[in-house]
């Protein structure tokens, strides 16, 4: 009976995580599965060890994500997105700002849920008048896009009053070619929309610099956020 309970606990936890786009905290898993949080914590450690779950940090929260989420195969999805971006750039060259506007419009129909942990983080930051805190949230927010790209490398390049610049490396949309750079302009538009909706803060999100080198590990894009 004990072994059966273990299988049930693992299955319940994994089922909830596989349905979550942005990950769940221990408390959220416990609430959704009706399993005590201490038991959830115990099984998560085991699932991490088996490579079935990975943990990421958002502020003071620990989010757990299934490595086998219920999505289409990531390689297939990314291949389609890259082909679409290539077609857009080929047919509409030098239209970066238009595709930034497209990013803002996508929020009307793009079912992109940041999850309860992100919502709580937005609520905490809304109570903080420090503009640096708003801008530093971008790194945590951008990591939510890892359903397209795993293991992004995001570093801080510049932080000044009302402006921050981040460098993003290890992206599949920066590999070998600039064919896919419209992706980042679209993301800038999405970011502006999410900040406005989530924080009621108007920011300008721009591409500052793009370097396409021989590998995605070496290539990078610098993205700035500036409070208007």
pLDDT, tens digit (0-9, with 9 covering 90-100), for 35-86: 999 999 999 999 999 989 988 887 788 899 888 765 556 677 888 999 999 9
Whether pTM > 0.85 for this model: the answer is: no
User: Reduced to 3 states, what is the DSSP secondary structure of residue 50?
Assistant: coil
Which residue's structure tokens are 């951008």?
A: 142
- The CATH number given to 2-66 is 1.10.10.10
Q: Of 42-51, 111-120, 172-181, give the lowest mean pLDDT range.
A: 111-120
Number of H helices, E strands in the chain: 8, 6
Bigger pLDDT: 154 vs 197: 154
Cross-strand pairs, 207: 223
- Mean per-residue pLDDT for 113-127? 70
Structure-model confidence comparison of residues 98 and 124, the more confident one: 98
Give CATH for domain 74-227: 3.30.1380
The DSSP secondary-structure symbol of 162 reads: T
Phi/psi of residue 79, each to 5°? -65, -40
pLDDT, residue 22, reads 74
For residue 148, the model assigns a pLDDT of: 65
The pLDDT mean for the chain works out to 84
> Which of 6-15, 27-36, 93-102, 151-160 shows the lowest per-residue confidence on average (mean pLDDT)?
6-15
User: For residue 22, which of 139, 187, 198, 142 has the smallest C-alpha distance?
Assistant: 142
Q: Is the pLDDT reported for residue 107 higher than 90?
A: no
In 10 A of CB 117, how many CB atoms? 22
| Lowest-confidence region among 14-28, 135-149, 198-212 | 135-149
Q: Would you state the pLDDT for residue 139? A: 76
In terms of pLDDT, which residue wins out, 115 or 138? 138
Tokens 């538009």 belong to residue: 189
* In the predicted structure, residue 150 carries a pLDDT above the cut 90: no
Give the pLDDT score at 43: 94
Burial class (CB in 10 A: 0-12, 13-18, 19+), 40: buried
The predicted pLDDT at position 177 comes to 87
Please tell me the distance from the alpha carbon of residue 221 to that of residue 173, in angstroms, as a whole number. 10
Closest CA to 191 of 107, 74, 77: 107
Stretch 173-186: mean pLDDT: 91
Render 184-212 in DSSP notation, one character per residue: HHHHHHHHHHHHHHHH---EEEEEEEEE-
Query: What is the domain partition of the chain in residue ranges?
Result: 2-66, 74-227
How does residue 2 score in pLDDT terms, banded at 50, 70 and 90? very low
Tell me the C-alpha distance between 111 and 157, whole Å: 31
């Amino acid at each position: 009976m004990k072994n059966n309970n273990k299988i049930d606990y693992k299955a319940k936890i994994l089922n909830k995580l596989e349905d979550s786009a942005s990950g769940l905290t221990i408390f959220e898993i416990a609430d959704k599965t009706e399993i005590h949080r201490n038991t959830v914590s115990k099984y998560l450690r085991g699932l991490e060890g088996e490579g079935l779950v990975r943990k990421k940090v958002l502020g003071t929260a620990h989010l757990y994500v299934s490595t086998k989420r219920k999505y289409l195969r990531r390689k297939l999805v990314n291949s389609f997105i890259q082909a679409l971006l290539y077609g857009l750039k080929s047919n509409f060259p030098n239209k970066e700002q238009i595709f930034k506007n497209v990013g803002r419009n996508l929020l009307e129909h793009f079912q992109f849920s940041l999850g309860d942990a992100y919502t709580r983080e937005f609520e905490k930051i809304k109570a903080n008048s420090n503009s640096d805190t708003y801008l530093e949230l971008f790194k945590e927010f951008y990591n939510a896009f890892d359903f397209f790209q795993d293991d992004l490398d995001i570093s801080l390049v510049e932080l000044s009053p009302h402006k921050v610049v981040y460098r993003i490396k290890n992206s599949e949309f920066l590999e070998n070619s600039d064919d896919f750079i419209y992706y980042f302009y679209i993301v800038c538009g999405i970011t502006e929309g999410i900040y406005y909706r989530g924080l009621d803060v108007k920011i300008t999100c721009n591409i500052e610099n793009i370097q396409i080198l021989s590998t995605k590990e070496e290539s990078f894009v610098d993205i700035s956020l500036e409070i208007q």
